[in-house]
Every structure is written in C-alpha cells, then in structure tokens.
C-alpha cells in the first residue's frame, strides 16, 4: 500500500453556530488523484484550507507528509502546490511575471526558476500570452494561469480547489488532461469539485462529503456499487395504467418504477436483459412506446440515494 | 526578494499616475511656499482713498483742508448729477464725498466746530470711517491751535507739521519674520506632500498584497509571513526614502544656503520622521480601505485636515485658544513647531528641547498608527 501523503483525522471546524466540518476523516495516498466531491457549502474548501493551514480547526489533526501541518510549516509547504478556488494573480504583472513570482516563493535558483516557469507556461498552453496582463485573458486562460502559478515549482502534492469553475469546455478539457499528466509525472493530486463528471473522469478515489461529513468513499465503481440501482431505464409510454405499472414493478430485478408525464422510469438492480424483458411486457400488453434509453448510475445517483437530494441542489 | 521585485514592478506600473500626483502636490506646495514668504514680509502702506469734494467756501481753511487731503488721497470734483454720484459710491469708484459750505472758514474761525461739514459714504465702510478720521483729525488739531491763541497762519503751519508726522508701523515679531528663510516654508509644506503622495503611491501597492486571494495564496507558500512582511516594509521604506531624498534635493537646489546648513540637516531629520508618519498612515489606511479610490479620498481628507489643523497652511499664531488645543493633537503641529524652532538654530549645540520634543512626538504617532494598523491586520486575519 502507498504511503499516505495527507491524513485527516476527526477534523472538526465550526464557524460560530455552523458546523463546517463534522469529524472528517480522509487519507490521501501517494501518487493518486483523490476527488473531494460535494455540493456547494458542503465543506470542501474548508477542508482544503485546514490542510493548507490557512484555517485553524477546533478538533482533530491534519498530517501532511507525515507531519502535523502548521501555519509556519514552511518545509512541508515547499512540496505543496496550490490552486485556490478564486484566481489569485497580480493584475499588474504579466503572465510570465506572475508565474515567476509564485514559483520564486519556492525556488530561489534563478536559472532553474526560469526553466520551471517556461515549462509551466508550456504545460498550460499559455505560450502566446506570456506578455499579456491578466485582465486581457479570457476566463479559461485566467484559470490556466492560476494553475500554472500553483504548479510551476513542481510540487509533490497539488491541491486544486474547483479549478474549472466558469471555464469553457475547451479549457476544461485541457485542464483535466493537464492534471492527469501531472499525476503521471508523480504528483499526488487532491481535486475538489461539485462537477461529478470531472471527478468521475480523472479521480482514482473519491470522497463524497455533505454538511461537513464524509458520506461515502471509494473508487468510482465502489461508490456505485454502494447503491441498489445498477441500471436506469427511461421509456416514453402513452396511456400506461396503474395495473400495468404494478405489473412492471413485479418484474424480476426491478425495484422501483415511476410513471409521470408519459415517461416510465425503471430502476433495476442487477440481472441481465432487463430492457428486453420490460419491452416484451409492453408489447404483450399492447402498450405503445416511443424513445427508449438506459443509463448507468452516476455519482449523483449515489449522492441522491445516500442523502435524498441531488448533488447540485 | 520576489516580494520586493513584484512590489517594484507594481509601483512601476502605477508610476505615471504617481508622478502626476507628485507634480501637482509639489507645484501646489512651492506656490504656497512663495505666497507665504511674501505675505509674511508684513509691509505697511497707507490706504489711498478716492474723495470727491464740493467746495463752496472761498476761505483759506477749506483750501488748506483740501491740500492736506490731496497729500494722501485722490481728490476729485463732484460728479455732475446726483445719480452719477450715487453710482460712483455704489460701485466704490468714490470712497468719500465731502461738502464744504460757503461760510466754512468764517464759521470755523468764529469757533463753530461741530456739524459744519457734510459728507456721504458707504455706511459702515472702513474707508468712510478712515476719511472721517482724517478730516476730523485735521479740524480738531487746527481748532486746538486756534483755541490756544495761535494766529491763523501759525495754526495752519503747526497743524500741517503735526499731521505730517507719521508713525513707524512694525509687528512685535517683525524681526523674526524678516529673518525667516523661505526654505522654512518649503520644509513646512512637506508633511502635506508626504501624507498625500505616500498614501497614493504606497497604498495601492500594499492594497494589492493585502488582497484576500493574493494574501491566502502567499500564506500557502514556503516564504514565511515575517519575511514577506519585512520585504513589504523594506520596499515601502525604499520608496519613501527616494521621495524624501528627491524633495530634499529639490530643496537643496532651490535653497542651498539653508538646506546645506545645520538648520537644513535638522529640518531634514524632522521631515524624515514626518514621512515615516505618512507611511504609517498609509499602512493603517490600506487596512481599512478596500478599493483604490478610497485611498485617494483618504489622502485628500487626511492631507488637508492635518495641514490646516497642524498649522501648515495657516500660521499657528492666528489660531484661537481652542483650535490650538485641538491642533496639538495632530503630529503636523509638532512638525511645524519643530520646524520653526529649527529655523532659529545656528549651531548643533543650540538644538532646543522643543525640537526633539516635536520629532519624538511625531515618531510616537508613527509607531501608534503602525501598531493600530497591525492590530486591524491581525483581526482581519482571524476573521
């Protein structure tokens, strides 16, 4: 088993009456992309800020590279790259100068720094914009600059807090590919987002948090196995009677079926040929149907089943 | 080093607007220095009035009176019509109108003194009262000699002699004023420039570094909080040092005979403490201000308020007792009093306690503002 890079144990953080983190436990191993998924206000950023010692906490412990992190843990911080949720760059400095500034907070050697800055610019694809000032950049390019500022010094641990908020699809793909490349080069990544597709796409292990508590943790597949639904089938049906709906609910492997606004939604749990069996029933009973599609469960379904609400609520 | 480099790049980016502010404030200060230097020379000249006279008397006394008035004033004939006369008085083309009746000499020699002459003037005007006093002074003196038994010729001669005597007018501190070098006024205006320009130059850069997101990002880095702050303080000190040296250089070019003396040296020390105070004000301001335009407002309000209350724009001598009490709570008051005291020093051994008191009080203000700013900074960090 890989060495843990970050270990969070029983972390409790209160903002006056609000409990932002409620006995949170996380373990992020070396070399993995760890996703922290949760709706807005679930405590993701608070957890990240505690890991970075930007926030003090009421209870628990946070260890990074095996040591308790403190505001003055500068030796530990040398190996951490940070891309915060809000873009933190100097409006008065160019793209190159901004990356050079933040890289210079970690790397003193001028020549090495110049090389690192060039590599970071290449990495995020800002070669054509090195002399641009941030206000001349689009939202996507600005996010890329923010990432370059966080990763230029080649840290072992990179924490990205919602790096793709308000980013166009092209930049988003570029950012996600970049994160996977960084991981391939050996960096451990902590990635927070409320976009489940992104987390599913790049993260090896995922923790879902809500109201400051971890409600599930595992790989993408492990999380989906936690819920009953294996398959969700949608069929446009006209004139389905209550009796027919009750018959469908009795079919094998069907554990839930809803019929609203001419749409039949069936949740299946395991089994094979569920769709064929359902369509066969409709044909036998001369129920006319139109469009048919099936989908595998998503992390949203996991969240929905555990919390009773949508991830984006 | 990164903080220093970024600081200098940011200030370089803001340099054009800083230079404009700097030029404006230096221009204002030099202009006011010149104006103050002139107004403080305290010259005295008698006012010349415009007097119209209708003289119906053929006697000698009326002619003597007119001759007397003509020495110091412009005496002219009466306008032709009443309307023209009223217009002339209304428009202040005439300060005083004197009517001498036909039998003036005869009546005066007969001992009749009151109410012989008539006059018109702007009611309650100082020029009218002044003309009244001139005419009455002449008649009273002449009457006094006649009543004492002098002949008419003797009385006229004596009156003319008496009234030709003039008093030398001087102010009690006139000697000091005459000796005050114009460089003293140049130095006196420096705190106003310092407060305005330091807030406008250093403030926006500090505001960038104190920006919530940049600050959070910096805190995540491997450079310690204290090192970053030391670089920020060092960079700000360098900027104010350049400004201070530049203004001293300008002062040295304009007034070398003062700046390159003991007085100039002490004045420079006083000014340096003053610019440190300005930096502490800028530091406190950026803790409270969120936007750059607030800094501009604060610099104007602080600069003007401290300049007026501290006696930079208005001499402390003219302050009322209560205003002076308030004034003593401003560091600029202590700067101005120290600057004044320095202007009397000729040797280092003559440096009075007043000077050190002024300098130390300013330094205490600077430290107090700095500590206050740091407290706010810490409170904000905790939030």
Give the pLDDT confidence of A136-145 residue by residue, as tens digits: 998 888 989 9
Token readout for B223 is: 């450079």
Checking if the pLDDT of B310 tops 80, the result is yes
Closest alpha carbon within chain B to A104? B2
Mutate one of A53, A57, A93 to test the B interface: name it (highest B CB count within 10 A): A93
Q: Does B9 touch chain A (CB under 8 A)?
A: yes
User: Does A84 contact B213 at a Cβ distance shorter than 8 Å?
Assistant: yes
* Cβ-nearest to B2 among A82, A88, A101: A101
**Does B291 lie at the interface with A, CB-CB under 8 angstroms?**
no
Cβ contact A237:A259 at 8 Å: yes
User: Could you report the per-residue pLDDT of B50-109, keeping only the tens digit for each?
Assistant: 898 888 888 888 888 888 888 888 888 888 888 888 888 888 888 888 888 888 888 888
* More confident position, B378 or A203: A203
Q: Do B208 and A72 touch (CB under 8 A)?
A: no
Residues B25 and B56 in one domain: no
Final residue in a domain of this structure, among B130, B164, B198: B164
Model pLDDT, residue B245: 93
What integer is the mean pLDDT of B242-261? 88
Q: Which residues pair with A34 in a beta bridge?
A: A190, A205
pLDDT band for position B173 (cuts 50, 70, 90): low
Average pLDDT over residues A226-235: 80
Please determine, for residue A103, whether its predicted confidence score (pLDDT) is greater than 90: yes
Q: What tokens were used for B288? A: 């409270």
Neighbours of B24 (CB within 10 A): 13
Put simply, the answer to whether A102 touches B221 (Cβ < 8 Å) is: yes
Residues 6+ apart with CB under 8 A from B150: B158
B133/B217 same-domain check: no
User: B82 lies in a domain?
Assistant: yes
Element holding A29 (H helix, E strand): strand A18-29
With respect to residue B170, please indicate whether it lies within any of the assigned structural domains: no
Percent of chain A with pLDDT over 90: 32
Coil, strand or helix at A152: coil
pLDDT for the residue A133: 93
Rounded Cα distance between B171 and B319, Å, is 17
CB contacts of B223 in chain A (<8 Å) are: 74, 105
Q: What is the residue-averaged pLDDT of chain A?
A: 87
B213/A88 touch (CB, cutoff 8 Å), yes or no: yes
B1 at the A interface (CB within 8 A)? yes
Res B43: pLDDT: 52
- Cβ distance of B214 and A54 shorter than 8 Å: no
Residues B6 and B137 in one domain: no
Domains of chain A: 4-225 (3.40.50.300), 231-296 (3.30.70.100)
What are the tokens at A243?
Answer: 């009796």
- For A176-198, write each residue's pLDDT tens digit: 888 898 899 889 999 998 888 88
Q: Indicate if B160 and B246 belong to the same structural domain.
A: no
Q: Is B16 on the interface with A (CB under 8 A)?
A: no
Interface test with B, best of A64, A90, A155 (most B CBs within 10 A): A90
A209, A38 contact by CB (below 8 A): yes
Top-ranked range on mean pLDDT: pick from A93-97, B43-47, B108-112: A93-97
Rounded Cα distance, A196 and A311, in Å: 8
Cα A216 to Cα A227: distance, rounded to the nearest angstrom: 11
Last residue of a domain, one of B136, B164, B192: B164
Query: Residue B40: is its pLDDT beyond 50?
Result: no
Among B115, B131, B164, the domain-final residue is B164
Q: Is A149 near chain B, with CB under 8 Å?
A: yes
pLDDT tens digits, one per residue of B198-230: 998 899 899 888 888 898 888 888 888 888 888
Domain co-membership, B302 together with B231? yes
Whether B181 and B153 map to the same domain: the answer is no
For A198, residues 6+ apart whose C-beta sits below 8 A from its C-beta are A164, A172, A176, A191
Among A170, A193, A178, smallest CA distance to A146 is for A178
Judge if B159 and B217 occupy the same domain. Answer: no
Question: Does the beta-carbon distance from B10 to A93 stay under 8 Å?
Answer: yes
Contact present, A119 and A112 (Cβ < 8 Å): no
Within a domain: B224: yes
Q: Is residue B272 part of a domain?
A: yes
Reported as a pLDDT band with limits 50, 70 and 90, residue B275 is very high
Q: State how far residue A54 is from chain B, nearest Cα, in angstroms.
A: 7
> Could you tell me the residue range of the domain that residue B117 belongs to?
50-164
Res. B174 pLDDT band, cuts 50 70 90: very low
B230 and B155 co-located in one domain = no
* Residues B190 and B156 reside in one and the same domain: no
Strands (E), chain B: 50-55, 74-77, 96-100, 118-121
CB contact under 8 A, A90 and B221: no
- Note whether residue B169 is domain-resident: no
B57 in a structural domain: yes
Closest residue by Cα to residue A128 from A95, A104, A174: A95
| CB contact (8 A) between residue A84 and residue B6 | no
Rg of the Cα trace of chain A? 24
DSSP-derived letter for residue A136 is G
Which residues of B fall within a CB distance of 8 Å from A102? Answer: 217, 221
pLDDT, average across residues B259-286: 91
pLDDT digits (tens, 9 = 90+) for B41-60: 455 566 788 898 888 888 88
Contacts of B360 (CB under 8 A, 6+ apart): none
Mean pLDDT of B177-182: 66
Q: Are B217 and A80 a contacting pair at CB < 8 A? A: no
**Per the structure block, which two tokens stand in for B295?**
């800094």
Residue of B18, B217, B219, B224 for testing the chain A interface, max A β-carbons within 10 Å: B217
Same-domain pairing of B193 and B290: yes
- Can you tell me the distance from the alpha carbon of B273 to that of A133, in angstroms, rounded to the nearest whole number? 37
Bigger pLDDT: A186 or A224? A186
pLDDT of residue B44: 54
Per-residue pLDDT, B168: 67
Query: What residue of B is the nearest CA neighbor of A85?
Result: B213
Shared-domain flag, residues B203 and B282: yes
Q: Which residues of chain A neighbour B216 with C-beta distances below 8 Å?
A: 54, 84, 88
Query: Do the chains contact at A92 and B208, CB–CB below 8 Å?
Result: yes
Compute the distance between CA of residue B180 and CA of residue B185 in angstroms, rounded to an integer. 9
Q: Residue holding tokens 């040092």?
A: B241
DSSP labels for A154-183? --SEEEEESTTTT--HHHHHHHHHHHHHHH
Instruction: Output B23 or B21, whichever has higher pLDDT.
Output: B23
The radius of gyration computed from the CA coordinates of chain B, to the nearest angstrom, equals 32
Say if residue B36's pLDDT is above 80. no
Q: With bands split at pLDDT 50, 70 and 90, how would you rate the model's confidence at B312?
A: confident
pLDDT over threshold 80, residue B176: no
- Residue B290 falls within a domain, yes or no? yes
- Give the total number of structural domains in chain B: 2
Q: Which residues pair with A19 in a beta bridge?
A: A14
Alpha-carbon distances of B78 from A207, B96, B98, B128, rounded to whole Å = 105, 11, 9, 16
Write the CATH number for B141. Answer: 3.40.1710
Q: Are residues B205 and B141 in the same domain?
A: no
Mean pLDDT of chain B: 84
- Token pair 């359902």 is found at A278
Query: Is the sign of the CA dihedral B205, B206, B210, B215 positive or negative?
Result: positive
Flag whether residue A77 sits within 8 Å of chain B, measured between CB atoms: yes
Q: Cα torsion for B296, B297, B302, B305, to the nearest 10°?
A: 130
**Cα dihedral sign, A107-A109-A112-A116:** positive
CA-closest candidate to residue A117, choices A102, A137, A133 = A102
Q: How far apart are CA B282 and CA A291, in angstroms?
A: 69
Selection from A163, A157, A162 nearest residue A185 by Cα: A157
């Amino acid at each position: 088993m890989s060495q843990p890079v970050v270990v969070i144990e029983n972390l409790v953080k209160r903002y006056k009456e609000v409990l932002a983190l409620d006995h949170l436990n996380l373990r992020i191993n070396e070399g993995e992309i760890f996703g922290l998924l949760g709706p807005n206000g679930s405590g993701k950023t608070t957890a990240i800020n505690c890991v970075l010692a930007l926030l003090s906490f009421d209870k628990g412990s946070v260890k990074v590279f095996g040591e308790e992190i403190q505001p003055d843990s500068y030796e530990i911080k040398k190996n951490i790259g940070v891309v915060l949720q809000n873009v933190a760059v100097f409006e008065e400095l160019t793209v190159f100068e901004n990356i050079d500034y933040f890289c210079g907070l970690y790397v003193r050697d001028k020549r090495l720094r110049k090389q690192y800055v060039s590599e970071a610019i290449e990495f995020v694809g800002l070669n054509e914009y090195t002399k641009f000032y941030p206000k001349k950049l689009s939202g996507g390019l600005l996010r890329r600059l923010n990432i370059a500022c966080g990763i230029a010094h080649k840290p072992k641990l990179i924490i990205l807090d919602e790096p793709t908020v308000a980013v166009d699809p092209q930049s988003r793909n570029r950012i996600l590919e970049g994160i996977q490349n960084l991981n391939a080069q050996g960096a451990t990544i902590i990635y927070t987002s409320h976009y489940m597709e992104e987390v599913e796409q790049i993260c090896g292990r995922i923790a879902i948090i809500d109201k400051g508590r971890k409600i599930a943790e595992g790989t993408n597949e492990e999380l989906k196995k936690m819920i009953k639904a294996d398959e969700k089938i949608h069929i446009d049906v006209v004139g389905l009677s209550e009796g027919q709906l009750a018959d469908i609910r009795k079919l094998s492997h069907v554990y839930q079926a809803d019929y609203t606004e001419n749409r039949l939604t069936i949740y299946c749990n395991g089994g094979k040929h569920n769709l064929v069996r359902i369509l066969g029933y409709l044909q036998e009973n001369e129920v006319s149907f139109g469009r048919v599609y099936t989908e595998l469960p998503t992390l949203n379904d996991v969240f929905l089943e555990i919390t009773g609400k949508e991830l984006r609520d | 080093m990164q903080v220093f480099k970024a600081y200098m790049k940011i200030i370089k980016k803001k340099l054009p607007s800083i230079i404009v502010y700097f030029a404006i404030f230096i221009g204002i200060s030099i202009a006011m220095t010149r104006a103050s230097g002139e107004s403080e020379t305290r010259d005295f000249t008698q006012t010349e009035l415009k007097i119209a006279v209708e003289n119906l008397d053929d006697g000698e006394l009326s002619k003597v009176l007119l001759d007397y008035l003509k020495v110091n004033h412009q005496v002219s004939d009466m306008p032709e019509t009443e309307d023209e006369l009223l217009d002339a008085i209304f428009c202040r083309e005439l300060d005083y109108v004197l009517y001498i009746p036909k039998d003036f000499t005869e009546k005066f020699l007969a001992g009749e003194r009151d109410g012989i002459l008539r006059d018109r003037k702007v009611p309650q005007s100082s020029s009218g009262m002044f003309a009244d006093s001139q005419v009455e002074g002449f008649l009273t003196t002449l009457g006094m000699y006649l009543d004492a038994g002098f002949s008419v010729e003797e009385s006229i001669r004596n009156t003319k002699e008496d009234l030709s005597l003039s008093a030398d007018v001087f102010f009690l501190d006139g000697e000091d004023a005459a000796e005050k070098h114009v460089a003293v006024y140049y130095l006196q205006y420096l705190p106003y420039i310092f407060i305005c320009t330091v807030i406008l130059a250093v403030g926006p850069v500090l505001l960038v570094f104190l920006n919530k997101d940049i600050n959070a990002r910096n805190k995540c880095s491997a450079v310690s909080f204290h090192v970053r702050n030391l670089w920020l303080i060092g960079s700000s000190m360098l900027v104010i040092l350049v400004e201070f040296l530049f203004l001293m250089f300008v002062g040295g070019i304009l007034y070398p005979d003062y700046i390159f003396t003991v007085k100039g040296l002490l004045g420079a020390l006083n000014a340096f403490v003053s610019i440190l105070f300005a930096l502490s004000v800028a530091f406190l301001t950026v803790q409270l201000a969120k936007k750059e335009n607030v800094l501009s407002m604060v610099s104007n309000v602080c600069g003007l308020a401290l300049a007026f209350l501290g006696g930079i724009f208005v001499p402390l001598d003219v302050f009322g007792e209560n205003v002076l009490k308030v004034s003593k709570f401003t560091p600029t008051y202590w700067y101005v009093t120290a600057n004044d005291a320095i202007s009397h020093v000729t040797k280092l051994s003559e440096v009075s306690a007043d000077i050190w008191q002024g300098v130390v009080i300013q330094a205490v203000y600077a430290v107090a503002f700095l500590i206050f700013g740091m407290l706010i900074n810490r409170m904000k960090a905790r939030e």
